[in-house]
Structure 1
Amino acid sequence: MITSDLFGYRSDCVSERRIVRRSVLFLAFCLVFASAVGFAQPVEKPLASGVTLIQDINTDPGSPLVINAVKADLKTAGVRAAAALGQGSVIGSDPTQGRERVSSIVKRLGALVGVNADYFPWTGDPLGVMITGGELVSEPMDRAAIGFTASGQVIIDRVSFSGKIKSASGAEWPVRGINRSRGANEMVVYAPIYGKKSGCKDGIEFAIKFDGKIRHGVDISVVVASAPAIACGAEIPKDGALISAHGRAAEWVLKYVRLGDQVTLRFDIAAESGRSWDGVVEAVGGGPFLVRAGQIYIDASQERFKSDMSSTRHPRTAAGVDDQGNLLLVTVDGRQSISQGATLSELARVMKNLGAVDALNLDGGGSTTLSVRGVIVNSPCEGLERPVANALLLYAQSEASQTAPEKFAFAESAPLQIACGQGRMISLIDDGGFPLGEDVAKKLVWGTTGGVGFVNQKGFFTPLRLGKGSIVVMLGERRIELPVIVTAGAPASLDATIQPDPSGDARRVIVVVSVKDSGGNPVAGVSVAITVIGGSADVLSAVTGDDGTARFNVTWDLADKPGQITVKAAGLTSVAK
């Protein structure tokens, strides 16, 4: 018996009730995103044993949508999930302050797949919980998070944090944060993974030494390695940590902490469901929930998200787990002509139709990125990737293809020059000069660099932005690139605005005319004609420059009675405003 879901068809012996339920869910989703007819046949590509890339594209002009999903069986040998910090530390000294592009993180750490993870305050500090290699890097903030045990179990829950320090005499004080900016009256612990220094310029600091890393769910016995002193930029010790305290917390430190004391730290993560997180060794935060216990459940207001974050269509990233324990990593592109994005309700339906029994939203917008072997597979809305604080990675053992040719190449000449609005299918040939066989083509993974466009998993390239980049094809570990130069397409929009003349003369104005292609890119070299009623222009025509604009100086006949200005270019007409 064949049943359909969002991403294609599968053979299954199921009850009639289950068929009806799946059909209703699928129909509801299609109604949200226009019609089922708009969806092309979903494409599945094997990335490794136990890991599959699934792409579904709605080509309906009224509701275009690009969805990419990676499904990973964490029970398969060699398949595991991990959290990774941008640049390997929380705070850096470069302009991104510690952030890194997802593709760079994937390539640097040798991962198979990576997606952006938690929100961040434009530094490398993830806002929610992060655990990597068992080390607690960032504390939870009472929002949804996804965690992984050493055995590959996936846990999605809303988690909160408690921390404390106990002095040698038994006095206790709460520790409010791990590796983040310290607030008033707070105590925060800074580990070497944070960076070189805490950055605190007031309060009290002291160093501690201990074996191992900051972990949750256990008592950590440490030795005070430096006497508490006024914060003055002391370095974080590589064999311990630095504790910084302010206000009342600093007063407690001065009263109870002495050089050489043995004190105890403890950090606990509590899940809303009551499930233990003590065995979690990798985790990233996000929020809100999308699916919980098999039902759509969006707790955005409870997790303190603004309403427009839920109800407006944006690019989205999500993670989930199905009833077999498989991990689902999903991106929905948005803010582009090829994909409009999704609300949280729509994203929740995507996750549920993928089979998620639990799922959460991750950071989205310009951060939404899916990378395979360091190549971008989705279409980031800003073109080039946005550096992010952390990423959720998948590792897996690559499979050697038994049917692949020794070599394969692009049939197109390099570089490929293409104008916006002129998408085309990219062809490949084998080492004998013949088109690649269908059995090999099904295993090819397509991607891009440079942010100039999007290539789907059938090899169709859509140029979106001016500039230079490349189309990438991967077959296992093998990879070839086709350089691409995207130029402006045919003029598609004409806009004219009236601006005051810098001289202040009320009779004189400046008219700025902008010509753009269908992708919103400026079009140079276009002749623009101007007609003025009730005045005169300095010239009757002008040609757009590299920025796609042309300027005219207009003088009105009467200062108190401005006339009308009309411009024409490439068959387009616009009245200046």
Structure 2
Amino acid sequence: MTHRQRRFGASRSVLTFLAALGTLAGGALVGAAPADAAPGWTRLATGVHYEQFDISAAAGPAHAHVLRVNLREPRVRVELLYPGAVAARATVSRLATAQGALAGVNGDFFNISETQHPGVEATGASVGPAIARGRVLKAAVPGGQRFGPALPPGTTTKDVFGVGTDRRARLDDLALDGSVRTPEAELPLGGLNQYALPVGSVGAFTSDWGAVSRVRATCGTDTDRAAPCSTDTHEVTVRDGKVVATADTPGRGPIAGGTTVLVGREAGARQLRKLPVGSTVTVRHRLVAATAGTPYRFALGGYPVLENGRPLPGLDDTTSAVRTAVGIADGGRRLYLLALDGAPGYRGGLTISEVAATMRTLGSVDAFSLDGGGSTTMAARTPGSAAVAALNHPSGGAERPVPNGIGVFSTG
């Protein structure tokens, strides 16, 4: 029995609602469906197909855009879309174009605003862990610091959707394991390239963070995102195992390769003040998966809504919105990427329980909710077009810049 089975297996109830997939709204994007695709599916590349359809939902009709991705096809892969830094954003179509992806959807929830902390810069960084091409980019913020709807019971900001080096997709959670070793002590590492650090901790920022100010990392608490910023902070810059600079206030600007900036708040700040320039410091960090399996090629945050074919208990069934989700089938070898349309006639969207039911109807055994609302975007390079463009209508009228997404790549 896996970690996730222990967590959810005994208590969940089966939803009686089952989303009714309606008839196709309009024809295929270009031409007729190929012989190897189900009726209604349009082939974008070998192993990648697109479909759109209506869903009869509690808030009225919703319109779904779906990509079906066959990971058994050796010419197809999925990777993390991101703009080259954790604290940065770009539209899905721009990210896909820049990285050469065939298609993609938006990803994790993120630090979109800072109205509670006047003068503090919103970082644009995502909530959960992120791995790109096997490289660990960041860890998860404390639960009380997340942006987005309330999490289902039993889930955390550490939950991820990912694909291993074995090309199989799975749901998991990734926890930070790290330390800061000084001449006097070995301190636990509380964060890695995060927009929020646990109270009393020390966090590490690397060249993957970007140029955005690190002050936001010391604002709020583990349970209250709107709590004031800490007045007890300290920062040290470590290069080649030595402290080369210190400051009482977290700084900003690019971090050079091979350099780590340590930011401490409260008890963490007091520990860092013991490290003058020239001190020897060793920083270690990694993400540890809760379930056994091959290392992750890529992973990003969100939260599970369907596991082992059953909706999670306590899924919201009252709040409807435009949504993005990813489903897993065929033992992790097939994906369904879902993005709802944000056009005015469909803006009612789905509840999270309806998302779980829809993903199950598509054939998913496991499913994972991603950021929604104005972030929901599906973009692709359709047959006959050289450009990647949005397939759905984003609810804000234009694509919203996002920190990351799921990119579908094909050499076919």
| Same fold flag (TM > 0.5) | yes
Alignment deviations for residues 269-300 of structure 1 (CA, whole Å, 9 cap, x no partner): 342xx335x7013111012x221012122555
User: What is the DSSP-based 3-state SS (H/G/I as helix, E as strand, rest coil) of the residue aligned with 2:256?
Assistant: coil
Structure 2 counterpart of 1:291:
306
Partners of 1:149 and 1:37 in 2: how far apart?
35
Q: Output the amino acid matched with 1:255.
A: K
Match of 1:174 among 184, 188, 198: 188
Moved more, 257-266 or 135-144: 257-266
The answer to whether residue 394 in structure 2 is matched with residue 386 in structure 1 is no
The answer to whether residue 75 in structure 2 is matched with residue 121 in structure 1 is no
User: What is the DSSP-based 3-state SS (H/G/I as helix, E as strand, rest coil) of the residue aligned with 1:389?
Assistant: coil
Q: Output the amino acid matched with 1:284.
A: L
Structure 2 counterpart of 1:204:
234
**Cα offset, 1:229, TM superposition:** 4.4
Q: Output the amino acid matched with 2:324.
A: T
Q: Output the amino acid matched with 2:292.
A: R
Partners of 2:314 and 2:55 in 1: how far apart?
28
Structure 2 counterpart of 1:349:
357
User: What is the DSSP-based 3-state SS (H/G/I as helix, E as strand, rest coil) of the residue aligned with 1:244?
Assistant: strand
Q: Contact 1:190–1:198 at 8 Å: present in 2 too?
A: no
Q: Output the amino acid matched with 1:357.
A: V
Match of 2:242 among 212, 217, 224: 224
**Cα offset, 1:394, TM superposition:** 0.9
Structure 2 counterpart of 1:315:
322
Q: Contact 2:181–2:281 at 8 Å: present in 1 too?
A: no
Residues 213-362 of structure 1: pairs in structure 2 closer than 5 A: 223-231=241-249, 233=251, 236-255=255-274, 259=278, 261-271=280-290, 274-276=291-293, 279-287=295-303, 289-298=304-313, 310-324=317-331, 325-334=333-342, 336-338=344-346, 340-362=348-370
Q: Output the amino acid matched with 2:261.
A: L
Partners of 2:77 and 2:24 in 1: how far apart?
35
Match of 2:41 among 27, 40, 44: 44
Q: Contact 1:187–1:244 at 8 Å: present in 2 too?
A: yes
The answer to whether residue 102 in structure 2 is matched with residue 112 in structure 1 is yes
Structure 2 counterpart of 1:90:
86
Structure 2 counterpart of 1:499:
none
Structure 2 counterpart of 1:194:
209
Partners of 1:37 and 1:323 in 2: how far apart?
25
Which has the higher relative contact order, 1 or 2, with Cα contacts under 8 A spaced 6 or more apart? 2
Partners of 1:331 and 1:128 in 2: how far apart?
20
Inter-CA distance 111–299: structure 2 relative to 1 (3 Å threshold): farther
Alignment deviations for residues 182-223 of structure 1 (CA, whole Å, 9 cap, x no partner): 55533111111212364349733222346xxxxxxxxxxxx1
Q: Output the amino acid matched with 1:389.
A: P
**Cα offset, 1:135, TM superposition:** 2.4
Structure 1 counterpart of 2:11:
none
Partners of 1:375 and 1:37 in 2: how far apart?
24
Inter-CA distance 264–233: structure 2 relative to 1 (3 Å threshold): closer
Count of aligned pairs between the two proteins: 338
Structure 2 counterpart of 1:418:
none
Q: Contact 2:243–2:281 at 8 Å: present in 1 too?
A: no
**Cα offset, 1:112, TM superposition:** 0.6
Which protein has the larger Cα radius of gyration, Structure 1 or Structure 2? 1
Partners of 1:394 and 1:349 in 2: how far apart?
24
Partners of 1:126 and 1:174 in 2: how far apart?
22
Partners of 2:245 and 2:26 in 1: how far apart?
67
Q: Output the amino acid matched with 2:85.
A: S
Partners of 2:340 and 2:96 in 1: how far apart?
20
Structure 1 counterpart of 2:171:
156
**Cα offset, 1:331, TM superposition:** 1.2
Percentage identity across paired residues of the two chains: 27
User: What is the DSSP-based 3-state SS (H/G/I as helix, E as strand, rest coil) of the residue aligned with 1:346?
Assistant: helix
Q: Contact 1:318–1:362 at 8 Å: present in 2 too?
A: yes
Inter-CA distance 234–101: structure 2 relative to 1 (3 Å threshold): closer
Partners of 2:24 and 2:78 in 1: how far apart?
34
User: What is the DSSP-based 3-state SS (H/G/I as helix, E as strand, rest coil) of the residue aligned with 2:41?
Assistant: strand
TM-score, scaled relative to structure 1: 0.53
Q: Contact 1:314–1:334 at 8 Å: present in 2 too?
A: no
Inter-CA distance 345–199: structure 2 relative to 1 (3 Å threshold): closer
Match of 1:77 among 59, 69, 74: 74
User: What is the DSSP-based 3-state SS (H/G/I as helix, E as strand, rest coil) of the residue aligned with 1:345?
Assistant: helix
Structure 1 counterpart of 2:89:
99
User: What is the DSSP-based 3-state SS (H/G/I as helix, E as strand, rest coil) of the residue aligned with 2:355?
Assistant: helix
Q: Contact 2:232–2:266 at 8 Å: present in 1 too?
A: no
Q: Output the amino acid matched with 1:385.
A: E
**Cα offset, 1:39, TM superposition:** 7.2
Structure 2, unmatched stretches of 5+, are 1-14, 28-38, 113-122, 142-155, 216-230, 382-387
Residues 362-401 of structure 1: pairs in structure 2 closer than 5 A: 362-373=370-381, 374-398=388-412
Inter-CA distance 55–65: structure 2 relative to 1 (3 Å threshold): same
Alignment deviations for residues 390-446 of structure 1 (CA, whole Å, 9 cap, x no partner): 111111124xxxxxxxxxxxxxxxxxxxxxxxxxxxxxxxxxxxxxxxxxxxxxxxx
Q: Contact 1:38–1:59 at 8 Å: present in 2 too?
A: no
Q: Contact 1:207–1:237 at 8 Å: present in 2 too?
A: no
Question: CA RMSD for the aligned pairs?
Answer: 3.1
Inter-CA distance 100–234: structure 2 relative to 1 (3 Å threshold): closer
**Cα offset, 1:225, TM superposition:** 4.5
**Cα offset, 1:316, TM superposition:** 0.7
Partners of 1:135 and 1:360 in 2: how far apart?
22
Q: Output the amino acid matched with 1:279.
A: P
Q: Contact 1:127–1:285 at 8 Å: present in 2 too?
A: yes
Inter-CA distance 226–166: structure 2 relative to 1 (3 Å threshold): same
Partners of 1:256 and 1:332 in 2: how far apart?
51
Q: Contact 1:112–1:396 at 8 Å: present in 2 too?
A: yes
Inter-CA distance 109–298: structure 2 relative to 1 (3 Å threshold): farther
Inter-CA distance 63–392: structure 2 relative to 1 (3 Å threshold): same
Inter-CA distance 59–261: structure 2 relative to 1 (3 Å threshold): closer
Partners of 2:325 and 2:163 in 1: how far apart?
16
User: What is the DSSP-based 3-state SS (H/G/I as helix, E as strand, rest coil) of the residue aligned with 2:365?
Assistant: strand
Inter-CA distance 195–296: structure 2 relative to 1 (3 Å threshold): same
Inter-CA distance 49–26: structure 2 relative to 1 (3 Å threshold): farther
Q: Contact 2:375–2:394 at 8 Å: present in 1 too?
A: yes
